[in-house]
C-alpha cells in the first residue's frame, strides 16, 4: 500500500531524519501561544492553526514540519483563565536553541509559521541573530494576518467583522476544527473606554483634538471584557473553507518559491567540517 510522504519530522525516526539531511530540505517551525480567543474558541487556537497551515503547506511542497513551540508572548491577555504567557526571553531562548540544534546537524533553511502577533518581534530578533551568525535567511508565515488580507473581499463590512476572537478567525476555525467552536457562546465585542480614555485598542488611545493616536499599554480585559474585538456573527464554515484554500495556498506558494530560490544559495549549505586532528 502506498503511503504519503511523512511531512512531520517528529514522527520520523532518527535514521529517517538522517536520510533527509543531504536533501537540504526547508523546515517549517510552527510557533504560537496559549491565549483567550473569546468565549467560543479554544485557547490553543493560535497553535492549532499554525500547525494546520504548516502541514498543509508541507504536503504541497517538499518541506517538513518541526514539532512546534506552543508557548508565546501573550501577557496582554494574562487575566483570562487559560491564557499562559511566557516572557520574550523565554521564547527567544527556545527558538534559538531549537535552531542551533538543527544547524549543528546540517539543516540550513527555515521558515517560521508564527501565528501570534506578540511573538513577531522575537521571531525577527532571532532570525537576525542567525543571519549575522550563520548567514541564514529565515522566512516567516503569519496565518491569521494572511487571512485578514486574503479574505477581505468576502465581507460586506470587514472593519466591523474583523478582530480578535471575531473574524476571520471564527470562520477559519469552523473550517479547520468545527468541533472546537462553541457556536452558542459566540458573541461580538468592541473596545470600551478606560479611565477616561477613548480606547482604539489595548495599545492606542485618542488624544482630544488630535488626529494621531497616543500609545499606552493596557491589559486586554480592561478594554475588551469578553476578549472579543469584532463581530463574528457572520462566521460560517464555507468562508472557513475559503480561508483554508487561500491561506494554505499562499503559504505553499511561498514555501515553494523559497525552496526554489534558496536551494543553491551559499548560505544554504553547511560549511564542510574541518578535517579531524
Ligand atoms: Zn494570538
Q: State in Å: Cα 275 to ligand 1 middle.
A: 47
Residues with CB under 5 A from ligand 1 (ion): 46, 116
Residue 216: which residues within 8 A CB-CB, separation 6 or more? 197, 203, 204, 205
Q: State in Å: Cα 32 to ligand 1 middle.
A: 7
Spatial separation of the C-alpha atoms in residues 244 and 238, rounded to whole Å = 10
Q: State in Å: Cα 118 to ligand 1 middle.
A: 7
Q: State in Å: Cα 209 to ligand 1 middle.
A: 33
Q: State in Å: Cα 256 to ligand 1 middle.
A: 26
Spans in the chain with pLDDT lower than 70: 1-4, 271-277
Return the bridge partners of 8, or none.
65
Q: State in Å: Cα 26 to ligand 1 middle.
A: 25
Q: State in Å: Cα 77 to ligand 1 middle.
A: 9
Q: State in Å: Cα 272 to ligand 1 middle.
A: 40
Q: What is the pLDDT of residue 276?
A: 52
Q: State in Å: Cα 50 to ligand 1 middle.
A: 11
Q: What is the pLDDT of residue 271?
A: 67
Q: State in Å: Cα 80 to ligand 1 middle.
A: 13
* Residue 102, all three cell numbers: 538543527
Q: State in Å: Cα 35 to ligand 1 middle.
A: 7
pTM exceeding 0.85: yes
Q: What is the pLDDT of residue 2?
A: 46
Integer distance in angstroms from the first to the last C-alpha of the chain? 48
Spatial separation of the C-alpha atoms in residues 162 and 203, rounded to whole Å = 17
Amino acid at each position: 500500500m502506498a503511503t504519503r510522504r511523512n511531512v512531520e519530522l517528529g514522527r520520523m525516526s532518527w535514521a529517517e531524519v538522517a536520510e533527509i539531511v543531504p536533501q537540504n530540505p526547508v523546515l517549517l517551525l510552527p510557533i504560537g501561544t496559549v491565549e483567550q480567543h473569546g468565549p467560543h474558541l479554544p485557547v490553543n487556537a493560535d497553535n492549532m492553526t499554525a500547525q494546520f497551515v504548516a502541514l498543509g503547506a508541507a504536503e504541497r511542497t517538499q518541506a517538513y514540519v518541526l514539532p512546534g513551540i506552543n508557548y508565546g508572548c501573550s501577557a496582554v491577555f494574562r487575566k483570562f483563565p487559560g491564557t499562559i504567557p511566557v516572557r520574550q526571553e523565554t521564547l527567544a531562548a527556545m527558538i534559538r536553541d531549537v535552531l542551533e540544534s538543527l544547524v549543528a546537524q546540517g539543516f540550513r533553511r527555515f521558515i517560521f509559521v508564527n501565528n501570534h502577533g506578540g511573538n513577531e518581534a522575537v521571531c525577527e530578533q532571532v532570525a537576525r541573530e542567525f543571519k549575522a551568525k550563520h548567514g541564514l535567511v529565515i522566512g516567516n508565515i503569519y496565518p491569521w494576518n494572511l487571512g485578514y488580507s486574503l479574505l477581505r473581499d468576502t465581507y460586506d463590512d470587514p472593519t466591523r467583522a474583523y478582530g480578535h476572537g471575531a473574524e476571520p478567525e471564527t470562520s477559519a476555525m469552523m473550517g479547520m476544527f468545527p468541533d472546537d467552536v462553541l457556536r452558542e457562546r459566540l458573541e461580538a465585542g468592541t473596545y470600551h473606554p478606560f479611565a477616561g480614555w477613548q480606547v482604539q485598542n489595548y495599545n492606542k488611545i485618542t488624544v482630544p483634538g488630535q488626529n494621531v493616536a497616543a500609545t499606552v499599554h493596557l491589559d486586554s480585559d480592561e478594554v475588551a471584557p469578553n476578549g472579543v474585538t469584532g463581530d463574528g456573527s457572520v462566521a460560517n464554515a464555507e468562508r472557513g473553507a475559503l480561508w483554508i484554500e487561500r491561506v494554505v495556498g499562499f503559504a505553499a506558494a511561498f514555501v515553494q518559491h523559497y525552496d526554489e530560490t534558496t536551494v543553491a544559495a551559499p548560505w544554504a549549505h553547511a560549511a564542510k567540517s574541518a578535517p579531524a586532528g
